Amino acid sequence: MFQKAPDSMIPDPTPERVFALCRLIARRSMSRDELRNAMSLGKASSSSYSEFQSALSVAAEDLGVLHYADDKLVLAIAPEHLASPTAFRRYAGTRAFRNKDSSFVLFTRWYLAQNERVFALDSWEVKAKTAAQEVPALAGLRENDALGWRFWAAFFGLGYLSGASLIPNANIRLADLFATAFPESFPYDEPVQAADFMPWLAEKMPEADLNGVWPMAVSAGLRTLDELGRIRLEARRDTHRISLFFVDGEPVNEFSHITVREEGCP
């Protein structure tokens, strides 16, 4: 799912299924067969086996949450990373976006760069075919991959699913970065110059192209957090400004400083 392209992004290993599987092992270690039986509620079938195998592969190989010890599956990470869906999302995000050559990151980067064009590409099949034509490393991408991608993209907070599109708005993804990685580089509740913020965000959010005007997903995400009072965007005079994706009538279309409020980063 999150390995070097061309890796599969089939829909079976949904975030919810992977999280549930990991939580079972967090409660107690099990053999593979015991875990499969628990996941299928004792009603195993060929389809449930495929779903289980896909979820186990993502949990163990892609996200590094589980490993084998004496024929038992055990946690390979601290239990607090599975304490809640939010904790799991933040941990999984650090792993999923680490490999910049994965189909997941490459397709995400392509999707976010399309801005409003994603609405004109009116089906997941069309989106997959278009990305396959425009990104050489995604030449083998199929509709099924895009269908699998959408669940994880929404889970990581890159937008909101609606019909055949993911409406770009990365406010949850940004909020996760502000709550975890931001205080390692900048102080809370103090203005940070956009010129310093940009390279930091480019490193932490490799799926977004921040050269030139920032994409719709990032722009909408920052505006949402600003409106919620979790951050403050300012456009000061005579300072370097970053241009956000333009929205007519929107009061914030550029900024020179950003203040991340600690109380807005639970």
Q: What CATH number did the domain enclosing 43 receive?
A: 1.10.10
84 occurs within a structural domain: yes
Same domain, 184 and 141: no
Same domain, 91 and 134: no
Helix (H, G, I), strand (E, B) or coil at 250: coil
3 occurs within a structural domain: no
Domain-ending residue, one of 79, 96, 113: 96
Q: 28 and 35 in contact (C-beta within 8 Å)?
A: no
Same domain, 144 and 185: no
- What is the pLDDT at residue 250? 84
Structural domain of residue 58, as residue ranges? 15-96
- What is the pLDDT at residue 42? 61
61 occurs within a structural domain: yes
Is the predicted pLDDT of residue 34 greater than 60, yes or no?
A: yes
2 occurs within a structural domain: no
- What is the pLDDT at residue 44? 62
Domain-ending residue, one of 124, 139, 166: 166
Report residue 203's pLDDT band, with 50, 70 and 90 as the boundaries.
very high
Same domain, 162 and 193: no
Same domain, 130 and 193: no
Going across the sheet that includes 257-260, the strands are 192-193, 257-260, 231-234
Is the predicted pLDDT of residue 109 greater than 70, yes or no?
A: yes
Domain-ending residue, one of 67, 96, 125: 96
120 occurs within a structural domain: yes
Q: What's the mean pLDDT in 2-26?
A: 89
How many structural domains comprise the chain? Answer: 3
- What is the pLDDT at residue 8? 81
162 occurs within a structural domain: yes
Quick one: CA torsion of 25, 75, 10, 175, rounded to 10 degrees?
A: 110
Backbone angles phi, psi at 87, to 5 degrees: -60, -45
- Amino acid at position 27, single letter: R
Same domain, 84 and 121: no
Q: What is the mean pLDDT of the chain?
A: 94
9 occurs within a structural domain: no
Same domain, 128 and 71: no
Report residue 251's pLDDT band, with 50, 70 and 90 as the boundaries.
confident
Same domain, 49 and 74: yes
Is the predicted pLDDT of residue 41 greater than 90, yes or no?
A: no
Alpha carbons 54 and 70: distance in angstroms, whole number: 22
Look at the alpha carbons of 97, 47, 164, 20 in this order and tell me if their dihedral is positive or negative: negative
Same domain, 178 and 255: yes
Alpha carbons 164 and 144: distance in angstroms, whole number: 13
- What is the pLDDT at residue 3? 80
Beta bridge partners of 161: 166
Tell me the two tokens of residue 39. Answer: 């996941």
Half-sphere exposure (Cβ direction) of 20: Cα atoms closer than 13 Å: 14
DSSP-derived letter for residue 247 is -
